[in-house]
Amino acid sequence: MTVNLEVAEGVGTLRLDRPPMNALDVATQDRLKELAEEATRREDVRAVVIYGGEKVFAAGADIKEMQAMDHTAMVLRARALQDAFTAVARIPKPVVAAVTGYALGGGCELALCADYRIAGENAKLGQPEILLGLIPGAGGTQRLPRLIGPSKAKDLIFTGRMVKADEALALGLVDRVVPAGEVYEQAHAWAARLAQGPALALRAAKEAVDTGLETDIDTGLTVERNWFAGLFATEDRERGMRSFVEEGPGKAKFL
């Protein structure tokens, strides 16, 4: 399989496994969608790590496969490509990308689908599609400017240049840079911590933030208000407040 889902202690690792560069061909895209939807459904998956291995995250699309596709073929395929990445972005649980080596084109777009990105010092990210006479097609023109702002996103998309980990951090493209050998460990630790948290409240927080980014503030506030009030009906809310009153802050156990 080109993508695997490994689950341990509440953390599901979506592991890309298509050596040597984890090129995202059609089969890999379809498998990614399938497993993202599985991670969404499974109650034993409470947080997710996206990982490509120690040497490379994903170097982009399978160019040889794409070269053989004409306009009609891509019209038929483009929606499925975007749907695969959207399935990752819509996992209603905390998702962290553990980025080592190259994360280019579709690889960068996949990292953009996560809630948080931890990169190794050896990471190189970019959207080089313009160098092929194309534009990003798996969400790069939409998620990248929402993350780092339109001017910085246009610079990366227009030039197709790669950025190293330190510049990616300065741009806000990644959130933390660590030694390459510690990327997965730290990403897993981030996910494991949240896997111990209140699952419904985390889901609510993610949906409120993501919905708010896509709409006007009044609609966003309505989503927030409805979730906020609704969480008062949950056992986790009762447990959290009871623990706060009896034991002090930060000691509630939600599992």
134 SS3 class: coil
Task: State the average pLDDT over residues 103-127.
Answer: 98
pLDDT tens for each residue of 5-29: 999 999 999 999 999 999 999 999 9
Residue 42: is its pLDDT beyond 90? yes
Residue with tokens 């459904």: 41
Closest Cα to residue 205, out of 111, 112, 116? 116
Residue 51: is its pLDDT beyond 90? yes
State residue 61's pLDDT score. 87
Closest Cα to residue 61, out of 107, 101, 19? 107
Q: CA 149, CA 174: separation in Å to the nearest integer?
A: 14
Task: State the average pLDDT over residues 155-165.
Answer: 98
Residue 39: is its pLDDT beyond 90? yes
Task: State the average pLDDT over residues 50-66.
Answer: 94
Whether residue 20 is preceded by a cis peptide bond, meaning omega within 30 degrees of 0, is yes
State residue 202's pLDDT score. 97
Per-residue pLDDT band for 255 (boundaries 50, 70, 90) equals: confident
State residue 209's pLDDT score. 97
pLDDT tens for each residue of 71-110: 999 999 999 999 999 999 999 999 999 999 999 999 999 9
Around 71, how many Cα atoms within 13 Å sit in the side-chain half-sphere? Answer: 0
Per-residue pLDDT band for 1 (boundaries 50, 70, 90) equals: confident
Active-site residue set? 109, 129
How many distinct helices (H) and strands (E) make up the chain? 11, 9
pLDDT tens for each residue of 179-219: 999 999 999 999 999 999 999 999 999 999 999 999 999 99
Q: Cα–Cα distances in Å, from 36 out to 42, 79, 137, 167, 199?
A: 10, 16, 19, 29, 17
State residue 226's pLDDT score. 97
Q: CA 171, CA 110: separation in Å to the nearest integer?
A: 17
pTM: 0.96
Dihedral in degrees, nearest 10, Cα atoms 87, 92, 94, 100: 0
State residue 105's pLDDT score. 97
